[in-house]
Amino acid sequence: MALIVHQFPCLSDNYGFLVRDAATGKVATVDTPDADAILAELGKLGWSLDMILNTHWHPDHAGGNAALKTATGAEIVGPAEVTRIAPLDKALVDGDVVMLGETRFEVIDTGGHTLGHISYHDAKNAIAFVGDTLFALGCGRLFEGTAEQMWASLQRLTDLPDATTVYCAHEYTASNARFALSVDTAPAVTERADAVFAARERGEPTVPTSIGAEKATNPFLRAPLLRPDAPSPAEAFAEIRAAKDGFKG
Ligand code: ZN
Ligand code: FE
């Protein structure tokens, strides 16, 4: 049965995600950017929180764990690294399965942004929550992992079906689009960038995206095409990532 996703802006540029298993009414939040905002959304929806699914330890993803645990008693699952800053009830690793009612999330190791970063994939509903690994037209910064690790993580995500709906944790798309235009002249990239700028002018979100759209236009995924002389795909990715880190757009 369906998974209902309620997306709302949080902090300065995060998204909050409340998900509800339609069959059983069980509710989870993907990450905890802002406990008060999440509690307010739960109140508006009339939902009660059963679970917290963390993607990584950064404060804008796990900082609300303690307050939400106190307020709701929800079970917290995520990578072990979360315990650096917040409570965790169960540590997850690659290949683990998390059940929210009848919805089955498979855990995918997507380390690189942080070493333990994970993503959650609901194959039946073709939905993935990817935290700060893959963004619309972008990818997470390499705070802890290597380019090689991040490239492998991105491959795990691009192995998912093209129609997979991808919920990334930040609205960074306009700035990502400016960078994409600086390294990629493909018409599909220009077209998408125009659509992104127009959507942001209208105040509309550009998240979610899809695996297919990212494969076609995301400069980090297209790195081997954009840097054909690089010795390996991971090194091509490293070059694009370094260019973005130094990009003043
Ligand atoms: Zn992060
Ligand atoms: Fe973040």
According to DSSP, the β-strands at 97-100 and 209-210 are unpaired
Q: What's this model's pTM, rounded to 2 decimal places? A: 0.98
Active-site residue 56, yes or no?
Answer: yes
Q: What is the CATH number of the domain that holds 168?
A: 3.60.15.10
Domain residues for the domain of 63 are 3-245
pLDDT reported for residue 128: 99
Ligand lying nearest the CA atom of residue 114: 1
Active-site residue 132, yes or no?
Answer: yes
Question: What is the residue-level pLDDT of the chain in tens, covering all 249 positions?
Answer: 799 999 999 999 999 999 999 999 999 999 999 999 999 999 999 999 999 999 999 999 999 999 999 999 999 999 999 999 999 999 999 999 999 999 999 999 999 999 999 999 999 999 999 999 999 999 999 999 999 999 999 999 999 999 999 999 999 999 999 999 999 999 999 999 999 999 999 999 999 999 999 999 999 999 999 999 999 999 999 999 999 999 987
Cα 22 to ligand 1 centroid, rounded to whole Å:
29
According to DSSP, the β-strands at 118-122 and 90-91 are unpaired
- Residue 86 CA to its chain's centroid (Å): 19
Task: Give the Cβ contact number of residue 224 at 10 Å.
Answer: 16
pLDDT reported for residue 249: 74
Please tell me the total count of domains within the chain.
Answer: 1
Task: Give the Cβ contact number of residue 198 at 10 Å.
Answer: 10
Gap between the Cα atoms of 94 and 156, Å rounded:
11
* Residue-level length of the chain: 249
Cα 132 to ligand 2 centroid, rounded to whole Å:
6
Ligand lying nearest the CA atom of residue 56: 1
Residue type, 124: K
Nearest in space to 51 (alpha carbons), one of 36, 160, 38, 40: 38
Q: Which of 21, 34, 50, 60 is catalytic?
A: 60
Q: Which of 61, 109, 117, 122 is catalytic?
A: 61
Nearest in space to 122 (alpha carbons), one of 164, 172, 59, 80: 164
Cα 207 to ligand 2 centroid, rounded to whole Å:
14
Q: Could you please report the per-residue DSSP string of 84-130? A: GTS--SEE--TT-EEEETTEEEEEEE--SSSTT-EEEEETTTTEEEE
Gap between the Cα atoms of 35 and 74, Å rounded:
12
Q: Which residue has the tokens 């990532």?
A: 241
Q: What is the DSSP letter of 57?
A: -
Q: What is the DSSP letter of 2?
A: -
Joined together, the tokens standing for residue 189 give: 């990239």
Sign of CA dihedral 216, 217, 223, 228: positive
Coil/strand/helix, residue 17: strand
pLDDT reported for residue 219: 98
